[in-house]
Amino acid sequence: MIDINNLTKTYGSTLALDHVSFKIEPGQIVGLLGPNGAGKTTLLKLLTGYLPPTEGSARLADLDVTDHPLAVRERVGYLPETNPLYDELSVYESLVWTARLRGKSQETVALRRVIETCGLGSVVGKDIAELSKGFRQRVGLAQSILHDPDILILDEPTSGLDPNQQLEVRQLIQTLKQKKTVILSTHILSEAQSSCDRVLIIHRGKIVADGSPDVLGQTAARTRLSVELKGPVDAVEERLNALAGVQRVARQRGSAAGSALFDVETDPETDIREAVFDVAVQNRWPMLQLTVEGASLEDVFRQLTTTS
């Protein structure tokens, strides 16, 4: 469905995307993760044909984006990062002109469908300038799915939304999952973990990890434990740091009076649970909590995107 081959983009002397290659099968929701400036938006702009590549090729629905830009745009729905909308138009006007430009033969049916899917019924007569950010995002999404595209490209679809609005947009994306291939960029890791079948982590214009969120989590080079012992904080920290295999001990807030709560990171081969228990017994520090947090996508993300 999407086939990217050695895609490269430079802005003057700045290399924004560096020979990126990957394939996406139909029906997948793929999350593009990366810190700000990693090249996520550039990649999506290349996929929509908004920007021409410096090198390499992108094929969407078996069509080369550079050679058949119009045919590709007919099959793609795109929500840009800033969700640009015409504030002067009403929601209805905005959807109508998009439908007309998209050449929808059954304009009314398509409008009714997206208004219902995106929950826009209550604001359809309002000017876009009057809408909350959540509703604006829904209008942007409605515009992008109006023509029932095979491929949906969403650039940070939940950016700037409150947690409730984020959940609504995620649920909306999930409803589209059955019928469409979705590629969405985000730097909200929980969003990628909960919404995506597959995650691509991009850093400095390169794909540095590719896999399902769970599999990627297992590749983390650390395991994390949450340890709470009732004892002197400094002494507990010192003893935990001295255990074999421990890479980092971080003091946490929220522990009860007289106890110390720590995040302990170890290398994945070492299981320190018994050693922690021994420390507690030897020092007569009652153990209040010992939880294995496991490695998460966040760990992988941090490892891969904080290296120089």
Partner 1 sequence: MTPRHPIRTLAAKELSILLNAPATYVIFFLFLLITGYLFVAPLFSVGVSTLDSFLRPLPLIFTFTIPALTMRSFSEEYRAGTIEYLSTLPLRDYEIVLGKYVAALGLIGALLAFTLIYPLILLIVGRPDIGQLVGAYASIIGLVVFYAAIGVWASSVTRNQVVAFIIGFFVCFLFFLLGRVAEMVPGVFAAFLRGWAVETHFDALARGVLDTRDLIYWASGATFFLAACLASLNARRWR
Q: Which of 23, 100, 133, 251 binds partner 1 (CB under 8 A)?
A: 100
Given a contact cutoff of 8 angstroms between Cβ atoms, the answer to whether 169 and 132 are in contact is: no
**Piece of 99-107, 195-203, 255-263, 264-272 that binds partner 1 (CB under 8 A):** 99-107
In which order are the strands placed within the sheet that holds 246-251?
A: 246-251, 260-266, 223-229, 287-292
Q: Which of 13, 36, 70, 164 binds partner 1 (CB under 8 A)?
A: 70
E strand intervals along 83-234: 151-155, 181-186, 198-203, 206-211, 223-229
Structure tokens at 282: 């030897």
Give the residue among 271, 238, 237 at the shortest CA–CA distance from 252. Answer: 237
Show the site string, 152-191: x = touches partner 1 by CB under 8 A, - = not.
----------------------------------------
Return the number of the residue (100 or 251) whose C-beta is nearest partner 1.
100
Structure tokens at 34: 């990366």
Q: How far is the CB of 158 from partner 1 (least distance, A)?
A: 18
Q: How far is the CB of 306 from partner 1 (least distance, A)?
A: 30
Q: How far is the CB of 6 from partner 1 (least distance, A)?
A: 20
**Piece of 66-74, 197-205, 262-270, 291-299 that binds partner 1 (CB under 8 A):** 66-74
DSSP state of 15: E
Number of residues that bind partner 1 (CB under 8 A): 32
Q: How far is the CB of 196 from partner 1 (least distance, A)?
A: 23
Interaction residues for partner 1, span 28-57 (CB under 8 A): 45, 48-52
Q: Which of 101, 109, 242, 281 binds partner 1 (CB under 8 A)?
A: 101
DSSP state of 88: T
Q: How far is the CB of 73 from partner 1 (least distance, A)?
A: 4
Q: Cα(119)–Cα(165) distance, rounded to whole angstroms?
A: 12
The amino acid sitting at 118 is C
Q: Cα(30)–Cα(212) distance, rounded to whole angstroms?
A: 9
Q: How far is the CB of 77 from partner 1 (least distance, A)?
A: 9
Site residues (vs partner 1, CB under 8 A): 11, 45, 48-52, 70-71, 73-74, 76, 78, 80, 82, 84-89, 93, 97-98, 100-105, 143, 147
